Chains A and B, each alone.
Chain A
Amino acid sequence: MHTIEPAPIRKSVTVRASAEKAFEIFVNGMGSWWIKDHSLTESGQKTVVVEAVAGGRWYEIGNAGEERDWGRVIACDRPNRILFAWQLNADFDFDPALHTEVEVLFEAKSENETTVVLEHRELANYGAKAQDVRGMLDSGWGGLLASYVAQAA
């Protein structure tokens, strides 16, 4: 069996803010900017909570008060870096057996400019969990199809 090592997803964005402020909003204000459609809650997303310590919870709270886990905080070094375990599978369901990592670095360019670098890695675990490509393909395909239809509408 030929295993594949998918390359990590790497993204960066430069914001007009100090590293401290960027970190604060990213981590402690996640509920203020997270796109509410990206939610596991039944009643709609009220907010997102990041417990910014190693071993801390990472979860969202629905409008009806229900909590949905997303993963964990593996490491946190304010205001430079936070490392999450992202445990949502390709169907956007929480799976405690799935381990992917999201690392976010805050690199100060000046007093009021910070580059935020995000890396989502260990993506091969999606494939290992799926056991076959079809499940992965179908779930990814569903989202892709939906967005394509939305674009074409």
Chain B
Amino acid sequence: MTYENRLFAALADPTRRAIFERVAGQRQSVAELARVMPVSQPAISQHLKVLKEAQLVRDERSGARRIYSIDPEGLGPLRAWLDRFWTEQLAAFKAAVETADDS
């Protein structure tokens, strides 16, 4: 799966999107998420695993707990969109330069 499709799949699920938005608003643990989400803790862990694989969240150990926060290398759809945007633009630029007359 391409990065983009992984991202798409990760956010296609409404529960997963809700978890992502909570983590984006404030870093928190699985237990903290379980208190406010209408799903079980194992289900939340599974959702977080998918979000992590899509580079939307990252986790760090804090004693016995794992704390989840937005992955600053990820930043999700906006970053993916910009990334693709500039890739396309630079490819178009390269094509224009290399076909330009050497006048």
A94-129 CB mask vs B (1 if < 8 Å, else 0) is: 000000000000000000000010101001001100
Interface size on A, residues (CB 8 A): 43
Chain A CB within 8 A of B4 CB: yes
Distance between B101 CB and nearest chain A CB, rounded to angstroms: 11
Contact call A126/B27, Cβ cutoff below 8 A: no
Distance between B27 CB and nearest chain A CB, rounded to angstroms: 5
Chain A CB within 8 A of B80 CB: yes
Contact call A13/B83, Cβ cutoff below 8 A: no
Cβ contact of A35, chosen from B7, B69, B88, B98, cutoff 8 A: B88
- Find the residue from A4, A32, A120 having the highest chain B CB count within 10 A: A4
- Find the residue from B77, B88, B91, B98 having the highest chain A CB count within 10 A: B77
Contact call A21/B78, Cβ cutoff below 8 A: no
Cβ contact of A134, chosen from B7, B21, B78, B79, cutoff 8 A: B21
Chain B CB within 8 A of A25 CB: yes
Residues of A within 8 A of B70 (CB): 4
Q: Can you offer 6 A-B residue contacts whose CB atoms are under 8 A? A: A7-B73, A21-B97, A34-B89, A123-B82, A140-B78, A143-B77
B residues neighboring A (CB under 8 Å):
4-5, 7-8, 11, 17, 20-21, 24-27, 69-70, 72-98, 100, 102
A residues neighboring B (CB under 8 Å):
1-2, 4-7, 9, 11-13, 15-17, 21-22, 25-26, 29, 32-35, 38, 90, 116, 118, 120, 123, 126-127, 132-134, 136-137, 139-141, 143-145, 147-148
7 A-B pairs with the lowest CB-CB distances in the bound complex, closest first:
A140-B77, A33-B96, A140-B78, A133-B24, A6-B75, A13-B90, A2-B27
